[in-house]
Amino acid sequence: MKKNIIIPAIFLALFILPFNNIKAAEEEKFKIDTEFSTNKLKLRENTFILDYKYEDVTGDNIKDDILLLGHKNSNTQNTWSDDIYIILQDGKSNRYSKFSIGKINYGYNSKMFLGDFNGDKVDDIFVKVCNGKETGAYYSLISLIKNKALYLFEQKKFSLGIPFDINYVDDFKVNIFCKDINKSYTTDVSNKKNIYINSEVYNSIGEVLKETKGIQSSLEELHPIDIDKDGVYELKGVQKLRGFCYADVVGYAKSIWKYDGSKMKLIKLDITSINKSENIKNAQNVLPVGIFKN
């Protein structure tokens, strides 16, 4: 009776073990936070692997090695790096190719995410590089079909977020105007009226003393999300709406973006106001899905 149980168990272990070893070998081939060098590429000293993925990104159904590399100073534990770029080792030819992530190629905590954003059923490369300030991060989205880079949005421009005109108006209110969709929203900021009075933005009865505009703020968050569960990712962004100074947050802009074949398209925008009578989770939808058109 015991022999009948032991024999299948041994057979199963022998069958599974090689596959586990293959997976372990794949994971250990390139280790994150280790220095990278190869005689096939001319690299700077202290070039480190910031992130690593093993998937097909060229479209030939053969997995590739995708490395996010960056140069570090002598303090290798520092999360800051510059000269950041992508190295692709093609799974079929084993050849290395180097790709830019954009003009902003320096920052903290650089990471990659792989997923299909343009609907071609092949993973694209989403890169996030934090800038270490309140303004958030810079983002890149790159397709490497047939080892040729297609940038699905312009890194710096897209990372700056949606442009808004933010203006204080009478009665302790702020008008938020979105240029891209020609829509406006007014939020009540009377919960902070003492700050505005002391800062000479308003007088005591809520009249604007001088024209005061808000500060343009870039995307503080941008992350992949498959809204309709069709295997194609969208991007969800969060952007702070700032008033007369960076500390004066008058609301949030929450956006959804989808690649439409030629560019990232804004398909939804929610404006969330912050005041004494509203919960931060409550938002006015100023751009329902499907309404925005170029």
Per the DSSP assignment, residues forming a β-bridge with 238 are 221, 254
The whole-number pLDDT of residue 288 equals 38
Per the DSSP assignment, residues forming a β-bridge with 187 are 174
What sign results for the dihedral spanned by CA atoms 253, 254, 259, 260?
A: negative
Rounded to an integer, what distance in angstroms lies between the CA atom of residue 156 and that of residue 197? 36
pLDDT tens digit string along 70-118? 999 866 678 899 999 999 999 999 999 999 999 999 999 999 999 999 9
Token digits for 178?
Answer: 């979105």
pLDDT for residue 142 is more than 90:
yes
pLDDT for residue 275 is more than 70:
no
pLDDT for residue 8 is more than 80:
no
pLDDT for residue 14 is more than 50:
no
pLDDT for residue 3 is more than 80:
no
> 199 or 78: which carries more pLDDT confidence?
199
Rounded to an integer, what distance in angstroms lies between the CA atom of residue 285 and that of residue 261? 25
Q: Model pTM greater than 0.75?
A: yes
> 4 or 180: which carries more pLDDT confidence?
180
pLDDT for residue 17 is more than 80:
no
Which residue has tokens 């991060």?
137
**Can you tell me whether residue 172 is helix, strand or coil?**
coil
The whole-number pLDDT of residue 28 equals 61
The whole-number pLDDT of residue 134 equals 55
Phi, psi of 194 (to 5 degrees): -65, -35
**Can you tell me whether residue 258 is helix, strand or coil?**
strand
